[in-house]
Amino acid sequence: MTRLARIIWLLLLSSGSLAVGASAQVDITVTRTVIQRIPIAVVGLRPSGVSGGGDLAAQALSVLVDDLEFSTVFEVLPPSFLPFDAREVRLGEEEKVLASLNHLKVQAMVVAELTQQGKDLTLEGRVYNVSRGVFLGGKRYFGEVTAIRSMVHRLADEVVLRLTGERGVASTRIAYANAEKGATELYLMDYDGHNPTIVTGNRSINLSPRFSPDAKLLAYTSYRDGNPDLYLLNLETGRRDKVSALPGLNISPGWSPTGQWLALSLSKDGGTNLYLMRPTGGGLRRLTNGLAISVSPSFSPNERQIVFTSDRGGSPQIYMMDLEGTNLQRLTFEGEYNASARWSPRGDKIAFASNRGGGGFQIYLMNPNGTGVQQITTVGVNEDPAWSPDGRHLVFTSNRSGKKDIHVMHADGSGQKRLTRSGFNSFAPDWSP
Amino acid sequence: MVRGREAREQRWSGGRFWGPILVVGAALLLTGCPKKPEVGAGGPGAAGGPGAEQVAPARPITEAPVQPEARPTGEGPLKDVFFDFDKAVLRDDARKSLNDNIQWLKGNPAARTMVEGHADERGTNEYNLALGERRARAVRDYLVAGGIDAKRISTISYGEERPFVLGHDESAWKWNRRGHFVIQK
């Protein structure tokens, strides 16, 4: 069995089809769009035995494997493919298995160990380059038992960093709106949908959460004082500041990548126009004019341009302009409704929602000049795309579960997964830096 | 869906004794199944496949006109107005309602009103806030043009956030694209 499994693994690696255990359909998607995942072995995390009855190490292992797989950077070697018991590998003895992993063409290894003392946990992880037999780095994390998922997420991000030079996103969070009975409240949850936590709780309407580039502030619109005003919530201190409360709409915030500007839509002068303001308040600068609607601004990573939704041409379409409001350019022409443009953190793509296929919104990608449009969702109605900070994933709203829920996917549309299960409509997600 | 299919497959291989019980079980599973459309579940053996009729006659779809529990016009003396999709243009029926509202406001010069602009669920939340704002202003402007002091009319947009009728088709949407009047105390 194990020998056969090893042969299958090698065949899968050599054929370039790396979606082990997935259906043939998923295989095709993955091999077409993912260039190369790094085969990695996750070893250690010995069963912790008695305390509390639960196997914390197994939980840690499951979170770690999920994180590494979701990163799209790695293909985790199934433990049954190994010629030794992966979980019994102890810290300090991991170098003994490098040779057999190398034989299996595994390129990377993470070994981890979890120790518990009462309520306190220690998680240690070490990362190896298997083919060169080199130790790349290690970290030890201390926390309470309840923080186990966060500790493992931190380790997973470290593994991605050690092997790609770029930190993973497992420790990031997602903000979203949840339409409960009689109120729409904002929530934060872990990037994998765990630990949803309410951050408004004013029993009013709260919308459009947007993380500042340092992830410390959350901009959003709230009706808590009657009018749709713009607020900044400090996620570290809990302090809330009302930063724009002009007559009419104060909505649809968009942070500039440096955090020195906040774009927003105001209706104080007729029409609903885009403005720039300083996040501290003041410095208001008008970008669009007239009676048309201009909403949902998203900055280019170099902070030189803004994409947004406007109906100035008769229907909602996506436009681009520079920070002076000049050089206006229409990017979408197909379909009656193109909206919710989000510039990828890498700058190479713009995600947006369009009804061009008929039957409601789907999510598409295009180049920043409007060319190369590519549809990446098909099941249900899908909207509100928002990028992960590394540009490898998108979070979005889908009604495929029968109501609106937050889902995630990889940037090529593969790996779609539902995150929210509140029983209410969840929508308008934003992914923290 | 999947559980219903398994039950039915067992029935073909099951003996005489279990047959009827499994039929009932399958029927229960089928009717208890949520109405989620699952892509890829339409193959042979899925609900609607061979033998589906005898196992569980599809419950006939019943249809009834949707009437809002309380028509917006019933909430106060001022009539609500309704809009076409992605439009803030006042239709003839809206103008008729607003003409009546103008008469009422002229007869009640102390009354002040808030006009709420609403949108249906299609389109983005942010765009719909702006659309609701535009609708509320179109209503206000008509009243002002009809001789009502602008100081007596305030506006607010709720976009698609406070639908009047819950539903995912035009029978609900047409009530949700509205200008709603609330008398201010």
Q: Kindly state the tokens that stand for A305.
A: 């341009």
The string of DSSP codes covering B86-147 is T--PPPHHHHHHHHHHHHHHHH-TT-EEEEEEE--SSS-HHHHHHHHHHHHHHHHHHHHHTT
Q: What percent of chain A clears pLDDT 90, i.e. is strictly above it?
A: 87
How far does A182 lie from chain B, in Å, by closest CA? 9
- Chain A positions in Cβ-Cβ contact with residue B35 (cut-off 8 Å): 402
Q: Is pLDDT above 50 for B1?
A: no
Residue ranges of chain B whose CB lies within 8 Å of a chain A CB: 34-36, 39, 86, 122-127, 129-131, 133-134, 137, 155-158, 161-162
Task: Count the Cβ atoms, other than its own, within 10 Å of residue B104.
Answer: 16
Q: B25: phi > 0 → left, psi -120 to 50 → alpha, else beta; which?
A: alpha
Query: For chain B, where do the domains classified as CATH 3.30.1330.60 start and end?
Result: 72-184
Q: Kindly state the tokens that stand for A370.
A: 């409007």
Q: What is the pLDDT of residue A8?
A: 62
Higher pLDDT, B50 or B124: B124
Beta strands A417-418; B112-118: pairing state: unpaired
- Chain A positions in Cβ-Cβ contact with residue B137 (cut-off 8 Å): 270
Measure CB to CB from residue B156 to each of A227, A265, A270 and give the nearest one: A227
Nearest 5°: CA angle at A23, between A22 and A28? 95
Q: What is the pLDDT of residue B63?
A: 63
How far does A252 lie from chain B, in Å, by closest CA? 6
Q: Is pLDDT above 60 for B34?
A: no
Torsion angle in degrees (nearest 10) through CA of B12, B17, B21, B23: 30
**Helix, coil or strand: residue A432:** coil
How far does A398 lie from chain B, in Å, by closest CA? 13
Q: Tens of pLDDT along A294-331?
A: 999 999 999 999 999 999 999 999 999 999 999 999 99
Domains of chain A (ranges, CATH numbers): 2-164 (3.40.50.10070), 173-431 (2.120.10.30)
Average pLDDT over chain A, rounded to an integer: 92
> How far is it, in rounded angstroms, from Cα A279 to Cα A285?
12
- Classify domain B72-184 at the CATH topology level: 60s Ribosomal Protein L30; Chain: A; (3.30.1330)
Q: What is the pLDDT of residue A2?
A: 55
Q: Do A293 and B130 touch (CB under 8 A)?
A: yes
Count helices and strands in chain A by DSSP H and E runs:
5, 29
Chain A residue closest to B122 (CA)? A360
**Helix, coil or strand: residue A209:** strand
Chain B residue closest to A399 (CA)? B36
> How far is it, in rounded angstroms, from Cα A69 to Cα A77?
10
**Which residue stretches of chain A have pLDDT < 70?**
1-35, 48-54
Mutation target vs A (from B118, B124, B162; most A CBs, 10 A cutoff): B124
Q: What is the pLDDT of residue A282?
A: 87
Mutation target vs B (from A293, A382, A426; most B CBs, 10 A cutoff): A293
B185 band by pLDDT with thresholds 50, 70 and 90: confident
How far does A315 lie from chain B, in Å, by closest CA? 8
Residues whose CB is less than 8 angstroms from the CB of residue A308 and which lie 6 or more positions away in sequence, other chains included: A263, A274, A288, A294, A295, A296, A297, A298, A318, A319, A320, A321, A341
The length of chain A is: 433
Q: What is the pLDDT of residue B171?
A: 94
Please check whether residue A285 is in contact with residue A276, taking contact to mean a CB–CB distance below 8 angstroms.
yes
Distance set, CA B69 to CA A148, A173, B73, B74, B164 (Å):
49, 40, 12, 10, 9
Q: What is the pTM of this model?
A: 0.84
Q: Kindly state the tokens that stand for B72.
A: 């917006």
Nearest 5°: CA angle at A257, between A253 and A261? 50
- Chain A positions in Cβ-Cβ contact with residue B158 (cut-off 8 Å): 205, 223
Q: Tens of pLDDT along B98-152?
A: 999 999 999 999 999 999 999 999 999 999 999 999 999 999 999 999 999 999 9
Residues whose CB is less than 8 angstroms from the CB of residue A331 and which lie 6 or more positions away in sequence, other chains included: A307, A317, A318, A319, A320, A341, A350, A366, A368, A369, A370
